[in-house]
Homo-oligomer: A and B are copies of this chain.
Amino acid sequence: MQTLEQLTQSIQPLDQKAMQQAKTRIDGLLKPIGSLGRLETLAVQMAGIYRSATLKTSRKEIIVMAADHGVFDEGIAVTPKEVTAIQAFNMTKGRGLTGVCALAHAAGVDVNIVDVGIDCDPIPGVLNMKVARGCANIAKTAAMSREQCESLLLSTAKLAISRVKDGISVLGVGELGIGNTTPAAAIVSVITGAKPEQSVGLGANYPSDKLHHKIAIVEQAIAVNQPDPDDGIEILAKVGGFDLVGMTGIMLGGAAAGVPIVLDGFLSYACALVACKICPAVWHYLIPSHLSAEKGSQIALAHMDLKPFLQLDMRLGEGSGAAIAMQILDAAASMYNRMGLLVDDNLVLPNPS
Q: Could you list which residues of chain A lie within 8 angstroms of chain B, going by C-beta atoms?
A: 29-39, 79, 82, 85-87, 89-90, 95-99, 101-103, 105-107, 120-121, 123-124, 204-205, 293, 307-316, 320, 323-324, 327-328, 330-331, 333-335, 337-340, 346-350, 352-353
Contact = CB atoms under 8 A, between A and B. Distances in A.
B35 A316 contact: yes
Given A30-B87, A82-B349, A334-B102, A36 B320 contact: yes
A339 B334 CA distance: 29
A281 B235 CA distance: 54
Contacts of A349: 82, 85-86, 89, 120, 123
Contact of A96 (B86, B95, B338): B338
A310 B327 CA distance: 12
B309 A308 contact: no
A225 B348 CA distance: 36
A169 to B, nearest CB: 15
Nearest to A308: B311
Nearest to A334: B106
A103 B331 contact: yes
Q: How many identical subunits does the complex contain?
A: 2
A41 B114 CA distance: 31
A46 to B, nearest CB: 14
A327 B98 contact: no
Contact of A340 (B32, B95, B338, B348): B95
A106 B35 contact: no
A300 to B, nearest CB: 17
A314 B39 contact: yes
A33 B79 CA distance: 11
A106 B313 CA distance: 25
Contacts of A103: 331, 334-335
Contact of A99 (B31, B98, B105, B316): B31
Contacts of A30: 87, 90, 97-99
A103 to B, nearest CB: 5
Please provide the 3 A-B residue pairs with the shortest distance between their CB atoms, ordered closest to farther. Answer: A97-B340, A37-B313, A106-B334
B35 A314 contact: yes
